[in-house]
Amino acid sequence: MYQQKIGISVANTYSMPTPELIPHLKQIGFDAISPEWSKAYPLAPVAEAAKKAGLILQSLHAPYTGSADLWSEDEAVSAPALADVLASLEDAKTYGIPVLVVHAWIGFGCSFVPTEAGFRNYDAIVAKAKEYGIRIALENTEGEEYLFALLDRYVGNDTVGYCWDSGHEMCYNHSKDLLALYGDRLIMTHLNDNLGIRRFDGDTFWHDDLHLLPYDGIADWDYNIARLRASRPMEILNFELNIGSKPNRHENDKYMRLPIVEYFTEAYSRACRVAYRYAK
Amino acid sequence: MYRQKIGVSVSNGYKIPTAELVPILKKIGFDAISPSWEGADLGAIVRAAREVDITLESLHAPYHSSDDIWSPNATVGDAFLEKLLASLADAKRYAISTLVVHACELPDENFPVTEEGLCRFDALVEKAEAYGIRIALENTGGAHLLSALMARYRDKAVVGFCFDSGHEMCYSHGEDLLALYGDRLLVTHLNDNLGVGAFDGEISWCDDLHLLPYDGVLDWNDIVTRLRRARPLACINLEVGINSRPARHENDKYMRLSLEEYFTEAYNRACRVAYRYAK
C-alpha cells in the first residue's frame, strides 16, 4: 500500500502448494512473504515463485520444535536441533533472505533452567549468521525467560534483534509490554489476534494461540500501533495468520470456509487497516 | 433511523431490476435512494420510489468519459455536455433536487483546465439554475479541475459539493476535502476502501472498492467528526459496490449474500455512521 509495505508469513500446508499461492498473494497486494523452513518442503520453489512474482523474501522462520532441545546439556539431544536451525540459516543465505526468525524456547509447564550448553548453541547460530550477514530475530513465545536471557546476552550485537508476535504477547506473555522492553531492537513482526489466555488462573497453552486476523480477536490495535510507532521503524509490516482452528476450537473455522484467495484478500484488508494507521 | 435519514445510491446492474429493489430498500430502513442515470429505467425507479414513499435524494449524472467535457474539440465536448443536460432534464422531470456530477475521471495534474470545459459547465449550471436543481460536484481524481469549478461557482447557491469518502482516500491521498468544501456540502457518497494500493502512490480506479463502511481502512470517527463540522445534511447517503474490481476479491463476500442481506448489512453500517453523526 501507499508508503507502507505489507508482508505475510506463509506455511507449507494450504489447500494449494505454497509456490502456487504466491502469485495470488502478489496480486492481492502483499509486498513480501516470510516462508517457514521445513525439511519436508524444499524452499527453492517458494523462493523462485516469489522472485518471479516480484515479492520480497522478508524473513525465513527457522524450525522451532527443537527449541527446548537447544538448551539440553546432552549433545545427542541438542545437536539435531542445532543442525536444523543451521540448515535453515544456510537456506536463508542461499536464497538471499536477510532475517531468520528463531524461537528461544518451546514447551509449557517448564521451569526456567538456562544452561551454558544452550547459550553456546545460540552463540554458534549468531556467529554463523554474522558471517553470512543475516540477522537473527528472536521471537517471543511461551518461556519468555529464555527470550529475555538471550536478548540480554546479545545486547549491542547488531546481528540479533527482536521479532514481536503480538498474539503471543497476549496469550503467552500475559500482555507484558514487550515492545517497551525490546522495541528499539525490533526487526520483524508477527502480527495476529486472539482471545488472550482462556484460563482464569492464567495458565498458558498453545491452543490459545489462534493467529486470527487483526480485529477478529480482543487485541487493542490502536494500542499496538502506538507501540509499534514508538519502536524501531519497520519498512515492512508482517502478519502471521492461521486459516485452521486449534484442536477442539472453532474460532478460525470461518476462514476455512472461504476460498483461499478470498481468505488472503481479507487478511490483506485487515493488514491495510493496521498498516495505514502505522504509516500515517 | 431516529433523527437521521439514511440514503443509498443505487446502480443498474443488480440481479433484479433496480425498480424491484426499491421496496426492499424501504423495508430494510433506508429513507432515500439516489439512482444512477446511465442505463437506468428511471421512470420505473421513480414510480417504485413513490409507491413505497422513499425519497429521491439525488440523481447521478453520466460519468463515463467525463474528461470529454474539457475537450477543445467541440464534437467530443458538446456530446458529453448533451448527456449531462439530458440527465438534468430527467432530474427536473422526476423532481429530483440534486444532480451529482463528476468534474472529470482520473486525469493527472497536467490535464488542462480548458476554457471550453468551463463554458460547458457554465451552460450546465445555468440550466440547473433555470430548473431549480442543485449541481453537486463530486471529488474523483483531478483535484485541480474540481478546485477550478468550485472556485468558479463559489457564489452560486445552485452549485455545491458531493463528498465521496472513498475517493478522498484512494484518489486524493487522504487530503481533507471537507476542510475545503464542507461548507458547501450537498450530498455524501460514503464508502470504504484500502487506500492507494501502489507503494509509490500512483492512483488506480481498481483501488476504488466502494466497500461497506468499516470494511476498509478509513477512520470513521474522523469522517464523522469532519461531517459534523460541514454543512448539515438531512440525509446521509452511502454509495457502496457489491462487485469486486477486476482481478480483486475484496467485495466477493458481498456477492455471496442475497441482495436483502447485503443491503441490510449496508444499512447496519450506515446506521453506525449516522448514529454518531446525528447524536
CA distances from B233 to A27, A273, B224 (A): 39, 28, 12
Closest residue on chain A to B173 (Cα): A2
pLDDT of residue B226: 98
pLDDT in tens, A191-229: 999 999 999 999 999 999 999 999 999 999 999 999 999
Tell me the chain A residues in contact with residue B191 when contact means C-beta distances shorter than 8 Å. Answer: none
Predicted confidence band of residue A280 (pLDDT cuts 50, 70, 90): confident
* Of residues A1, A261, A265, nearest to B197 (C-beta): A1
| Global pTM value | 0.92
Indicate yes or no: CB of B249 within 8 angstroms of CB of A2: no
Residues A10, A35: Cα–Cα separation, whole Å = 5
Closest residue on chain A to B255 (Cα): A262
Mean pLDDT, range A169-176, rounded to an integer: 97
* B16 contacts chain A (CB < 8 A): no
Contact B210, B163 (CB under 8 A): no
- 3-state per-residue secondary structure call for chain B: CCCCEEEEEECCCCCCCHHHHHHHHHHHCCCEEEEECCCCCHHHHHHHHHHHCCEECCEECCCCCHHHHHCCCHHHHHHHHHHHHHHHHHHHHCCCCEEEEECCCCCCCCCCCCHHHHHHHHHHHHHHHHHCCEEEEECCCCHHHHHHHHHHCCCCCCEEEEEEHHHHHHCCCCCCHHHHHHHHEEEEEECECCCCCCCCCCCCHHHCCCECCCCCCCCHHHHHHHHHHCCCCCEEEECCCCCCCCCCCCCHHHHCCCHHHHHHHHHHHHHHHHHHHHC
The residue extents of the domains of chain B are: 1-57, 62-206
Tell me the chain A residues in contact with residue B223 when contact means C-beta distances shorter than 8 Å. Answer: none
Q: Which residues pair with residue B5 across a beta bridge?
A: B235
Indicate yes or no: CB of A1 within 8 angstroms of CB of B174: no
The residue extents of the domains of chain A are: 5-279
* B130 contacts chain A (CB < 8 A): no
Q: Is A10 exposed, middle or buried (0-12, 13-18, 19+ CB in 10 A)?
A: buried
List per-block mean pLDDT (blocks of 10 residues) for chain B, which spans 279 residues: 94 96 97 96 98 98 96 97 98 98 92 97 98 98 96 97 97 93 98 96 95 97 98 97 96 96 97 94
pLDDT of residue B98: 98
Contact B128, B149 (CB under 8 A): no
Containing A56, the helix (H) or strand (E) segment is strand A56-57
pLDDT of residue B106: 87
Tell me the chain B residues in contact with residue A4 when contact means C-beta distances shorter than 8 Å. Answer: 199
Q: Which residues pair with residue B135 across a beta bridge?
A: B99, B159
pLDDT in tens, A93-152: 999 999 999 999 999 999 999 999 999 999 999 999 999 999 999 999 999 999 999 999
Q: Which of A273, A271, A275 is nearest to A9 (CA)?
A: A271
Contact A15, A246 (CB under 8 A): no
φ, ψ for residue A101 (rounded to 5)?
-90, 125
Q: Count the neighbouring beta carbons within 10 Å of the beta carbon of residue A71.
A: 26
Indicate yes or no: CB of B199 within 8 angstroms of CB of A276: no
Please say whether the structural domain B62-206 has been given the CATH code 3.20.20.150: yes
Estimate to the nearest angstrom the gap between the alpha carbon of B55 and the chain centroid: 16
Indicate yes or no: CB of A268 within 8 angstroms of CB of B194: yes
Q: What integer best gives the mean pLDDT of chain A?
A: 97
Contact A65, A132 (CB under 8 A): no
Between residues A13 and B279, the one the model is more confident about: A13
Contact B163, B189 (CB under 8 A): yes
Containing A195, the helix (H) or strand (E) segment is none
* Of residues A2, A268, A273, nearest to B173 (C-beta): A2
> Using CA of residue A8, residue A12, residue A15, residue A18, what is the dihedral sign?
positive
pLDDT of residue B173: 85
CATH number of A5-279: 3.20.20.150
Closest residue on chain B to A3 (Cα): B199
φ, ψ for residue B59 (rounded to 5)?
-120, 135
Contact A210, A194 (CB under 8 A): yes
> Using CA of residue A102, residue A180, residue A267, residue A48, what is the dihedral sign?
negative
Mean pLDDT, range A235-257, rounded to an integer: 96
Indicate yes or no: CB of A2 within 8 angstroms of CB of B248: no
* B246 contacts chain A (CB < 8 A): no
**Edge-to-edge strand order for the sheet containing A99-103?**
A60-61, A99-103, A135-139, A160-165, A186-190
Tell me the chain B residues in contact with residue A266 when contact means C-beta distances shorter than 8 Å. Answer: 253
Which residues of chain A are at the B interface, by a Cβ-Cβ cutoff of 8 Å?
Answer: 1-5, 27-29, 31, 259, 261-262, 265-266, 268-269, 272-273, 276-277, 280
Choose, out of B169, B172, B199, the residue to mutate when testing the contact with A (most A CBs < 10 Å). B199
* Of residues A5, A261, A276, nearest to B199 (C-beta): A5
